[in-house]
Structure 1
Amino acid sequence: MRQVLRRADFRLLFCGLIASMAAESILVLALAIWVKDITGSSGQAGMIIFAVVAPILLAPLVGWFVDRFRRRPFLVGANLTVAAALTPLFAVRDRADVWIIYLVAVLYGLSYLAVSAALTGLIKVVVPDELLAEANGALQTVRQALRLGGPVAGAALYTAVGGWTVAAVTVAGFVISALAVAVIRVREAAPEPSAPHWLTEAGAGLRHVAAHPVLRRITTGMAFSIFMLGFNETLVFAYVDQGLHRPPGFVGVLSAVQGIGGLLGGALAIGLIRRLGEVRAVALGMLALTPASLSFVIPQLWLSIPGMVFFGCGLAVTVVSFHTLLQRSTPAAMMGRVAAGVDALISGPSAAAIAAGAGLVSIVDYRLLFVFTGLSLLASGWSVWRSRRLLPAPPPVEAGRPAVAGPAAVAD
């Protein structure tokens, strides 16, 4: 990671993202705990996650909109928009105002789509292809490091001084991020003219994925795995409540443990991509997700703690490897549409799973649901792993020279 961090433009982007990621790390869980505290319902708390994810259905339109602007100024405006979207939280008083929390969750989810699409494109502009894995690995490592303390800090902050302070801290984080990105000096080409019909342009990202054999196969596997993980977003509240008999804030502790695995995975992903290529690294990361779900079947911390470490590590490897493959396989001019379209394909079904989990957890034993999701994740990961036989291995690493596994290393 040292090589990419020597670049001044990336260091500025990196510092700005630390501020926004710190805000993200305390926000969503704090909102869920806020709803749980007000309503007493695990299902309603889990629906906060659904509210954040639900706008993913609009992702292709968001991606089309992002690609109409230069990345840096758009990312500045998008961060400020997220900050503005959080301000209605200051009006929440009691149970009658829970709808405001859900509204903010939806607005945040929609704004986050734009931020994510613009960021993926800006990284491709700021960082050369041979350093993309390092850049993604560095950002994922920080994201997981913040998971160690962010959720716990958010839960503690909410418990100590209430949701208003959490809202103020997160607003400040996104404003600081916008200021840092604003001072980056980067040359960006003007956006290409749009096609006559906006709907044609909005679907260009999905068509690119469908026409690319590797992206199509890996995106399908990712979509199924994230769909199954959607159930866990709600089930974890039932596990903490019914299994461990702990307060809702303990979910933050588990999230912090996941961050430990994420730290390992963010650093591990770079070496795996260099030696095995992005596709094989994605498969290994997906296979590591299974122990987490199965470890929650028996409500014992000595099982769930290692499971969450495996989960964090596997998720980080999967995300870094997949994002690197996506960036290397996509023209810069349509990066926003491809990133947003893939988000829709992967996270869209997850929204339905979160909603289903919120309903199922009240009628089905959460342990049976964890078994189901665990076995499904195993099948998905194994399917992607078997596809490695169709792909040539990346060239061997020469002494003293890092190998870079670009799209050519993972082509059909």
Structure 2
Amino acid sequence: MRRLWRILASNGDLRLLLAANLISLTGDWILRTGLAYQVYVLTGSTLASAGSVLASLLPQIALGSVAGVYADRWDRRRTMVVTNLLMVVALLPLLAVQHAGQVWLVYLVIAVHSCLAPFFTSAEAALVPSLVSDDHLVTVNSLNGQARDVARLVGAALGGVIAAIGGIALLSLADMMTFALAAGLLWRIRTRPRSGSAMRPHVLREWVDGMRIGVSSRVLRVFLAFTVITGIGEAIMGTLIAPFVHDVLGGDARAFGVIMAAQAVGGIVGGLIATLVGHHFTPRAMFGWGTLAFGALDLVLFLYPLATHALWPAPVLIALVGLPAAFLTAGGMTVFQNATTDDHRGRVFGAMAAVNGAAMLLGTIAAGTLGERIGILPVLAAQGAAYCLAGLVVLLALPIPPPMQRQRPRHEAATA
């Protein structure tokens, strides 16, 4: 705990970045949860709800790599600020949505946000290693992951309440406020690790370069394979968890809410543990063993109904999954950051984000198709087994690194 407070107390820019992420992501979950409910209320159509998923995934696939190119060229702090402000403007059409005939405006806003989001995420992923020393990266990535889990828990709860009180208009106003506040915090970051290039980027060439770098290193190839597996797995989980609770466990909407809350709470607790003790482990170990444990717990979660239809093990198990999830997230991001340099980190991350979007699209289609043909449990169990396999690949394919040496933040070393 002292280590954590020492890192935060000595780094004002890091505090600003974490606070901005927490606020902005809370707004994202408010809007995402509320819109999912409101679109179904307006249309009464599950197909319309699926349309919102496609509207969010397709731009990510198309623009993820391109955004990474510009994240390497532009001032990253300024990129994040401008992206947040553009998202405020992009939400304005939602104020006009009143009936089902205007649901296309919802799709339009979701699509625009999905076009802007990769610019923010690529810039953030590239900026973090410039703010802290190498031996603090695991701790900071764990803390960032915990902020995402807190935002998910708080935002999802607020999204339902706000949607019930004021509908889509109030949802959009709440999200606008979070984006504007986040932009203000990001603007106060003083560190300028790189000013960006004044040259006009050759987008196609640098896009290809990002993809080439992503497959040229053994570490990045492993990370790429992991991204594909987890993207498909995340989509399968998101698509089939509600049918799993309703059809397999016999639970109602209240039971589903309890299980989802348990997942978020487990993520928060896991993130706190990873933040406090993660620096004692190598990123490779956190990445590999975290993935393996995640898959094993998933298998127990989705196969225990073969022995009993009791509901109580589900929230307990899904909460326990939060611990290895926090370790694999922090370890995986640190492995990626250490395997890339400041000059190309943004475009490689963008390429990975595009691959992740394509994998999620594939996983969504596979879950919807195979879930009806072969059943919910076999598909979910295959997802857990795939995570176990991914963990073994990470542990066997990634080299064991030498002991980590304490280093100054990169921007300090560059100016020394």
* TM surpasses 0.5: yes
In structure 1, how many angstroms separate the alpha carbons of the residues matched to 2:168 and 2:257?
15
Structure 1 residue 273 displacement after superposition: 5.0
Identify the match of residue 6 of structure 2 among 3, 28, 37: 3
TM-superposed CA distance for 1:386, in Å, is: 4.9
Aligned positions of 1:240-255 closer than 5 A: 242=247, 244=250, 246-247=252-253, 253-255=258-260
Cα distance in 1 between the residues matched to 2:166 and 2:252 = 20
Residue 165 of structure 2 corresponds to: 160
Distance 1:30 1:372 in 2: 28
Structure 1 residues 364 and 178, CA gap change in structure 2 (3 angstroms): same
CA distance in structure 1 between the aligned counterparts of 2:319 and 2:54, rounded to whole angstroms: 24
In the TM superposition, 1:152-301 aligns within 5 A as 152-192=157-197, 197-239=202-244, 242=247, 244=250, 246-247=252-253, 253-270=258-275, 273-290=278-295, 291-292=297-298, 295=301, 298=305, 300-301=310-311
Q: Which range is displaced more, 332-341 or 191-200?
A: 191-200
- In structure 1, the partner of 2:149 is 144
Amino acid at match of 1:266: G
RMSD: 2.9
Under a length normalisation based on structure 2, what TM-score does the superposition of the two structures give?
Answer: 0.85
Distance 1:293 1:24 in 2: 30
Q: Distance in 2 between matches of 1:147 and 1:77?
A: 23
* Residue 35 (structure 2) pairs with residue 25 (structure 1): no
Aligned residue in 1 for 2:391: 384
Query: Percent identical across equivalent pairs?
Result: 24
Q: Which residue is equivalent to 1:410? A: none
CA distance in 1, matches of 2:66, 2:55: 18
Q: Tell which deviates more after alignment, 327-336 or 297-306.
A: 297-306
CA deviation digits over 1:359-393, x for unaligned, max 9? Answer: 666x447xx23432333332342343254245554
Partner of 1:408: none
Provide the rounded CA distance (Å) in 2 between the counterparts of 1:196 and 1:168: 35
Kept after mapping to 1: 8 A contact 2:66/2:207: yes
Name the SS of the counterpart of 1:322 in structure 2: helix
Residue 332 of structure 1 aligns to a residue in which SS? Answer: coil
Query: How far does residue 294 in structure 1 lie from its aligned partner after superposition?
Result: 5.7
2:143 matches 1:133 = no
| SS class of match (1:203) | helix
* CA–CA separation in structure 2 for the residues paired with 1:209 and 1:258: 32
Quote the residue 1:371 is aligned against. 378
Moved more, 33-42 or 124-133: 33-42
Q: Which residue identity lines up with residue 295 of structure 1 in the other structure?
A: L
1:268 is displaced (CA, Å) by: 3.5
2:347 is matched by which residue type in structure 1? R
Q: Secondary structure at the match of 1:173?
A: helix
Going from structure 1 to structure 2, the CA distance change for 1:304 and 1:388 (only over 3 Å counts) comes to: same
On the 8 A contact 1:19/1:173 being kept in 2, the answer is yes
Equivalent position of 2:100 in the other structure: 95
What CA deviation, in whole Å up to 9, does each residue of 1:7-52 have, x standing for no partner?
A: 1111122222221121122221222122222233445434433322
Report the 3-state secondary structure (helix = DSSP H, G, I; strand = E; otherwise coil) of the residue aligned with 2:343: helix
* Number of equivalences: 397
**What is the letter of the counterpart of residue 61 of structure 1?**
V
The corresponding residue for 2:363 is 353
Within 2, Cα distance between the matches of 1:355 and 1:48?
14
With normalisation by structure 1, the TM-score equals: 0.86
CA distance in 1, matches of 2:72, 2:113: 20
